[in-house]
Chain A
């Protein structure tokens, strides 16, 4: 069974540009989460999809971040325009239910110059 995949693995952009990150969850997992780790700090929750619906988006830092999950399969996270403080590692996770835990992808390292 394939795990959670993320694309790209690395992205280097300039301040003010737009970047779109993609996450493909494990097949059959209705729950999809985005997290990020900024500057070696703790990993922080961004938002949670159940199928195509946003269940909890309390962690989204501001309106420069837009997440979508059309069709309830893969998800994208767009940052527009990117700022220096957006640099970090963005993780995606998926799960079937709360008893079996969340499975994480390898992350996308975003560097904003």
Chain B
């Protein structure tokens, strides 16, 4: 079945360090890929998405490229800030109808950034 695997956390970094959070997937068909972020005390927010191979999603300095050949969607940021501390979730959906299909999530990766 469809699944998402992301790296275990927590990831602990100093401010301005480079961030990579790995995400790989298994899916039938042509999935759309997403990164969601959950800041402390808040709900999930869509961070970025990519709907087809080689697409690059980007937002708030974060980027991820849809790599079909390696079935990956790794999240990167060149210089993290303390305010980026949160839990990051990789997810996919395999649309089987006109409307949005269900999301399948990874386990989440907690990022802690220290000054």
Residues of chain A at the chain B interface (Cβ within 8 Å): 4, 30-31, 33, 35, 41-45, 48, 50, 55-56, 59, 91, 93, 95, 97-99, 101-107
Contacts and interface: CB of A to CB of B under 8 A. Distances in A.
Given A42-B105, A42-B107, A31 B43 contact: no
Chain B interface size range? 20 to 34
B39 to A, nearest CB: 11
Contact of A101 (B42, B49, B89, B102): B49
Contacts of A30: 99
Contact of A104 (B45, B95, B100, B106): B45
Interface of B: 4, 32, 34, 36, 42-46, 49, 51, 89, 91, 93, 95, 97-108
- Nearest 10 pairs of A and B residues by beta carbon: A106-B43, A104-B44, A98-B100, A45-B102, A43-B105, A95-B100, A42-B107, A101-B46, A104-B43, A98-B95
Contacts of B44: 43, 91, 93, 104, 107
